[in-house]
Structure 1
């Protein structure tokens, strides 16, 4: 594993990396120690060449220089301490640093503009085998902030020494953001140590020194922001001249003002002038720009400007609607809007507390006070009159209209025309805010209703059978009409023409002020000129618009059918069943299920062999409701909440609904089957769960080398309700699968189609069915494109093309943390994604404190071959032995078979690779993936210390996270340290592998809410004792216990024996596994022999490998 770190030294970004394969300690130097100690080479940092290859593999070959930097790092006498992100196979206990020591490290140094490109271009999640350290993550956040400042044009020119630079302007909310960044800065960001001329440490060399000297966090973060802003702006202006074209002969010496403008777009920005001239010019520039500089961050109050609308008048657009005699129609409107540009808008001055913006002191009150330190509303103000005057003078440089009011001795505000008020809203108000002033605008200005838009009226077609009869899907075509609207008010062509004729940017319509942009006027005129107003729209587009509008206007980025109108959609009206459906999905009113939808709950199917919890009934009802429309559904409940059970119950409900309760067992019923596609590792689990909960459902397994094809496949499918196959076969057997008219296609572990370009994903999306269903605990693992791929399978086209989704949602949300776009996306996918979490209060009350779940899985072909060979060999030996020898052979056989069920490498003891060879390990990986994604913690028990070591190493490699491992050789000190770290919150390891004998008792591990019994002890008392490490006093969450059972092997048969005689289990297995030695050879053969369904013909990988 390699961990990338970043440090900003004040002028360049340095990247360096730790490696888990290099030694932790420093080789001692030979000979006499030097008189003046020099920094040693960091023992486990990557060399510059290897580091460059690493950066190129995840980004690109960005221009950089290899340099050797000196870093002050927490250390012991043996060497530097590894960072928390570096995962090694050795058992390391937490060690306190003895000092900050200097270490020489080869780094890649990036100039500011290359640094910004690199930090913004790195993937959101580090590739496998690589981790981003805290310093790198921090500087990525700082780079995003720099980019935001640039996008908002929050920068200004300045002279620094003899150089012209661009400097970030930090004002308003940005002051708090800088402070937040400074407080969050990891200490390692300040670890760069300068060296003296002899290469020895210039600071903190003394071992007794506990903290190195370094620039303050705020100074360092501002150095980074200013440098990256300057580099970006300077590079953007390289081909732009800031000077007008000059005629005539150029002077011998370029004047400083011209040099200044040229230098702002040049590479180095150097000014060539005497120091005295530079100082004078710098003061002049500083005075000129003083109006742009915000107040100091520690100022307790600031000047605030409030814009008030003109008093409401009764002569608005709808005038004589009730026949009051005020006039109506064309003439009335013309009279009412004469000279509206002379409506008086007022700007009033206030002092505003910076820590409480609601505290406003009118300018009149300020002028009337005689004290230099008056108290207003229990706040003391220093020299408020001087501050108000100074601020007004500074504000007049960006808002010249203030100047006239300064002619008054005691200015309190001034009036403006409508045109001036619009200019204030559009131009001056943002500038004032950027310069640290408070601005209060009329509440209507930020509302969508303050702008002209289009209202959409969707007409639902008559639907036989009413709502939910299944005749529609998201691609169904519907008709709609458009109307020009302002807020809730629609306008006729005549009304709009008169408003446009006023040539005013702000007009009052029925009591509300609205903005009339020139481009909106042109678009509306073009709209009215179209003869035919009826258009067509898909149901999915209508839903997307209806669900996304809320109070935000059209935020979807959608462009339904010739929407080149250039106007925002400000409303959508529906009728009939469509109106009812949108109302349900928007969650309006009572009766919601916590996912926004008001769904009528169905009665649990009578053929279900078990009890459904309330939240599971809601899930089935939700699936049934969407099924009625043919809408795809993603059931994304947390692991352990029973997605499998809900799907089985739903399929039973569908069968009972179509067949009728009295005919549900009629095998001659012609009901279209369901296709379930899942990872190979859970094929057997699905088969067992259906047999357990819905024995009336007929199941067919399409997998392995002997699977059916052609007409044989089609004939067999007709005799079954559920066909189970794997992801790899979706592509290979696409032609076979596509010949069936499927009622549903269900994807278990649907994240397997997260790559839209993969052949299996494309093949699955080409299959047709009445409804698509996805089951996944992690609808988004790394990127939003994964969610798009799943939604495209469920409801093709609903989220638009992959390209438009990336533009409208993925980039704004992932790269720029756009909360508004995230909320819009949440609203539009809400109807089709049901996610309940174990921490939801409504779910917790439905769950028992401890849930025990069987996890069934298959053997791989390799495991099956080894298993059969051992059984054949050992049964003959057992049959020909007796007494103690026989008992030993039985126990030996038991151990060897359990090792094979765990993993071939455990049995062979050959140190061979682990991936793809064990069904149990593959299923463990899939479940651990969900545990980590949900932020949970897990204990993994095994009775084999060797298996524990393999699990620890493999899971660390697989998930790039630290895995603790407690075994018989662990010292007490190490054990206590592991327990302490696991029980910690935030940053602590999430996985703890324990040898059953060493960790099955005496430990308090309540931080875990998942317990995995990787292999079985078959002694309930021992297993329960291990489970109680998490399920004990102090546990505040529900505990999920997962017991692995290998299908068709001794694991399943012994588990079944214990279930059949549960009341006698304690007596039978009281001595562990010794009771098995008393069974006859015939009985042992029945237990040990491998059944036909034990192996699925796969290699153990998540998608299977069918030949």
Structure 2
């Protein structure tokens, strides 16, 4: 049994997807922790040659050229008893991971032996105490373009026994790869400038997570990211060097507390790792899509400043570095910063509350709907802070129900300003000193549900509708027919459909049957939103015409006639 692992690595020289394999094998020797001077090799990890052959047996391609190289390796193995060199298959890399490890001490309490916990039995009974210990494995690094193709070829679930070879860490990234494709399909990306640590400036395509959907996904994926994805040690991690111990080792066995040069880094933040993956893969894919296309007309391009032309060309070229005068680069950087200023929080992936709009139906004997303003938690749509509470606390940091809200009033006003540009009907309510809500007539409420809600959510604002109107695409609140049938009590002479079953046709909307008198009352309201037995439903003009045609026929109309009526 073999398990395929991998995770995204953030590196200064270029981020990549590191893939390695784990298999069952007996441990030949015990590893004495006290004698270690460097990070030990993972005893269950496949060698590069074993991994390459196993991938070939699964018909998995790491890159466009790996298939040929893997076949060459397989053919070499047939004529030789020894395995071919991994260098003949594909360039390999050694990577250090911090993995759960068994520590077993001898009776004399002077030595401790370590062995990694196999991922297939992780979480089961623990015969010995477990601690995080660095281990070294061999694997392959995939560039962003190859990484997307490889992750897309992996199964998303292990429902079938044949698909249970993918580890939880690698399966997680296969889901994120699908998310990156979804972002590209929805044009959720922006061109930007990025200043490197060495002072060079490069043109990049960056993921734009400005919608409420993507903000929620980022928060959920950050919470669901397996810890193994964050256990990969960063570039420059060595097995020697001075490392200052600042932790508390009281709970560790005495044999573990020594001046060993072996150490592990603190796990990287999930959002930083997710944004690094999305930005790198989206940048690579967009470049490949627009590489053969002309961004602007030749005359228009020639009229632009030199630094702008270099920036646009670098967005499609293989080399993204921009070489221009420092002053011109600073001006371009300032212009792009001003252009993306309203999206700085979304581009940074910061976990902040968002402005939310809750639509309330009219009260008794009233016609207007109420749109109330709140702050909403991105990871919990039901966590709402009303406007009155926000205005009462003009503070930099506000603690509400054990949750900290940074800059509550600024965040609230930022969302209200954006909403007023998307839906000017809200603008008059913002003229008050402390806006809390606004009123909408039935037509405005219908417009908000039909055409404004998705624009709010696509811009990173929250929207909460009445339960009966939340799923407006469903059939529950659409006008239709309710059909009941029963066998006739008396036998008829001729054999036909009516002699077998008695049909009764009734008009229904929102799951409720309607008589003609009840339907006429709803039509007389002249409102696209009507209330039936305490639930609000949508009454479309086409539905009204269809229902009126239905009532033109007698109660004994046959099914064919009614069918033609509704088909018209």
In the alignment, what sits opposite 1:135? 169
Is 1:18 the counterpart of 2:18? The answer is no
In the alignment, what sits opposite 1:289? 343
Q: Distance in 2 between matches of 1:159 and 1:517?
A: 48
**More relative contact order in 1 or in 2 (CA 8 Å, sep 6+)?**
2
Offset, 1:84: 0.9
In the alignment, what sits opposite 1:111? 143
* Higher strand content, 1 or 2: 2
* Match of residue 370, structure 2, among 331, 346, 352: 346
Is 1:488 the counterpart of 2:511? The answer is yes
Which runs of no fewer than 5 residues in structure 2 stay unpaired?
32-36, 67-89, 104-110, 196-201, 244-258, 491-499
Offset, 1:251: 1.4
Deviations 1:185-227 (A, max 9, x none): 22x643245359xxx7688999443423553344223322443
Q: Distance in 2 between matches of 1:271 and 1:436?
A: 32
In the alignment, what sits opposite 1:441? 465
Is 1:251 the counterpart of 2:340? The answer is no
In the alignment, what sits opposite 2:78? none
1:179-578 to structure 2, matched below 5 A, reads 179-182=222-225, 184-186=226-228, 189-194=230-235, 207-212=260-265, 215-230=268-283, 246=297, 250-251=301-302, 253=304, 274-290=328-344, 296-297=350-351, 303-311=355-363, 344-351=368-375, 357=382, 360-363=385-388, 388-433=412-457, 437-446=461-470, 451-461=477-487, 485-490=508-513, 506-508=528-530, 513-516=536-539, 534=559
Q: Distance in 2 between matches of 1:275 and 1:411?
A: 42
Q: Distance in 1 between matches of 2:542 and 2:320?
A: 41
1:1014-1029 to structure 2, matched below 5 A, reads none
Task: Report if the CA contact (8 A) 2:307-2:329 is conserved.
Answer: no
Provide closer, same or farther for how the CA distance between residues 515 and 207 of structure 1 changes in structure 2, counting only shifts above 3 A.
same
Deviations 1:895-934 (A, max 9, x none): xxxxxxxxxxxxxxxxxxxxxxxxxxxxxxxxxxxxxxxx
SS of aligned partner of 1:132: coil
Provide closer, same or farther for how the CA distance between residues 296 and 193 of structure 1 changes in structure 2, counting only shifts above 3 A.
closer
Provide closer, same or farther for how the CA distance between residues 114 and 521 of structure 1 changes in structure 2, counting only shifts above 3 A.
farther
* Match of residue 160, structure 1, among 194, 198, 204: 194
Provide closer, same or farther for how the CA distance between residues 277 and 19 of structure 1 changes in structure 2, counting only shifts above 3 A.
same
In the alignment, what sits opposite 2:9? 9
Is 1:58 the counterpart of 2:58? The answer is yes
Q: Distance in 1 between matches of 2:520 and 2:317?
A: 51
Offset, 1:487: 1.2
Q: Distance in 1 between matches of 2:57 and 2:504?
A: 53
Q: Distance in 1 between matches of 2:423 and 2:348?
A: 15
Q: Distance in 1 between matches of 2:206 and 2:352?
A: 24
* Match of residue 169, structure 1, among 189, 194, 209: 209
Offset, 1:6: 0.8
Offset, 1:312: 5.2
Q: Distance in 1 between matches of 2:234 and 2:182?
A: 30
Would you say how many aligned residue pairs link Structure 1 and Structure 2?
A: 475
Structure of greater Rg: 1
Offset, 1:17: 1.3
Q: Distance in 1 between matches of 2:551 and 2:318?
A: 53
Provide closer, same or farther for how the CA distance between residues 347 and 379 of structure 1 changes in structure 2, counting only shifts above 3 A.
same
Task: Report if the CA contact (8 A) 1:351-1:362 is conserved.
Answer: yes
Q: Distance in 2 between matches of 1:519 and 1:215?
A: 55
In the alignment, what sits opposite 1:121? 153
Provide closer, same or farther for how the CA distance between residues 246 and 217 of structure 1 changes in structure 2, counting only shifts above 3 A.
closer
In the alignment, what sits opposite 2:34? none
Task: Report if the CA contact (8 A) 1:72-1:191 is conserved.
Answer: yes
Q: Distance in 1 between matches of 2:321 and 2:551?
A: 58
Deviations 1:635-663 (A, max 9, x none): xxxxxxxxxxxxxxxxxxxxxxxxxxxxx
Offset, 1:445: 1.0
Q: Distance in 1 between matches of 2:406 and 2:171?
A: 42
Task: Report if the CA contact (8 A) 2:376-2:384 is conserved.
Answer: yes
Q: Distance in 2 between matches of 1:129 and 1:346?
A: 51
Provide closer, same or farther for how the CA distance between residues 362 and 147 of structure 1 changes in structure 2, counting only shifts above 3 A.
same
1:1066-1085 to structure 2, matched below 5 A, reads none
Q: Distance in 1 between matches of 2:414 and 2:262?
A: 48
Q: Distance in 1 between matches of 2:61 and 2:397?
A: 60
Deviations 1:375-431 (A, max 9, x none): 999999887655543432243344443334333444333334444323322343344
Q: Distance in 2 between matches of 1:3 and 1:228?
A: 25
Q: Distance in 2 between matches of 1:13 and 1:257?
A: 32
SS of aligned partner of 1:428: helix
1:954-993 to structure 2, matched below 5 A, reads none
SS of aligned partner of 2:351: coil
Task: Report if the CA contact (8 A) 2:190-2:207 is conserved.
Answer: yes
* Match of residue 71, structure 1, among 95, 108, 111: 95
Q: Distance in 1 between matches of 2:234 and 2:397?
A: 47
Offset, 1:8: 1.3
Task: Report if the CA contact (8 A) 1:457-1:480 is conserved.
Answer: yes
What RMSD in Å do the two structures reach over aligned CA positions? Answer: 5.7
Provide closer, same or farther for how the CA distance between residues 373 and 52 of structure 1 changes in structure 2, counting only shifts above 3 A.
closer
Task: Report if the CA contact (8 A) 1:165-1:269 is conserved.
Answer: no
Task: Report if the CA contact (8 A) 2:510-2:532 is conserved.
Answer: no
SS of aligned partner of 1:281: helix
1:996-1007 to structure 2, matched below 5 A, reads none
Task: Report if the CA contact (8 A) 1:185-1:217 is conserved.
Answer: no
Task: Report if the CA contact (8 A) 1:168-1:225 is conserved.
Answer: no
SS of aligned partner of 1:122: coil
Deviations 1:595-645 (A, max 9, x none): xxxxxxxxxxxxxxxxxxxxxxxxxxxxxxxxxxxxxxxxxxxxxxxxxxx
Provide closer, same or farther for how the CA distance between residues 266 and 446 of structure 1 changes in structure 2, counting only shifts above 3 A.
farther
In the alignment, what sits opposite 2:80? none
Offset, 1:174: 3.4
Provide closer, same or farther for how the CA distance between residues 54 and 510 of structure 1 changes in structure 2, counting only shifts above 3 A.
same
Q: Distance in 2 between matches of 1:4 and 1:12?
A: 16
Provide closer, same or farther for how the CA distance between residues 204 and 235 of structure 1 changes in structure 2, counting only shifts above 3 A.
farther
Q: Distance in 1 between matches of 2:308 and 2:431?
A: 33
Provide closer, same or farther for how the CA distance between residues 296 and 313 of structure 1 changes in structure 2, counting only shifts above 3 A.
same
Q: Distance in 2 between matches of 1:518 and 1:240?
A: 45
Q: Distance in 1 between matches of 2:370 and 2:348?
A: 25
Task: Report if the CA contact (8 A) 1:194-1:203 is conserved.
Answer: no
Q: Distance in 2 between matches of 1:413 and 1:251?
A: 51
Is 1:84 the counterpart of 2:138? The answer is no
Provide closer, same or farther for how the CA distance between residues 413 and 509 of structure 1 changes in structure 2, counting only shifts above 3 A.
closer
Task: Report if the CA contact (8 A) 2:482-2:508 is conserved.
Answer: no
Q: Distance in 2 between matches of 1:166 and 1:442?
A: 36
Offset, 1:60: 4.0
Q: Distance in 2 between matches of 1:259 and 1:451?
A: 55
Q: Distance in 2 between matches of 1:249 and 1:152?
A: 27
Q: Distance in 1 between matches of 2:17 and 2:42?
A: 19
SS of aligned partner of 1:406: helix
So what's the TM-score if we normalise by structure 2? 0.61
Q: Distance in 1 between matches of 2:43 and 2:355?
A: 57
SS of aligned partner of 1:174: helix
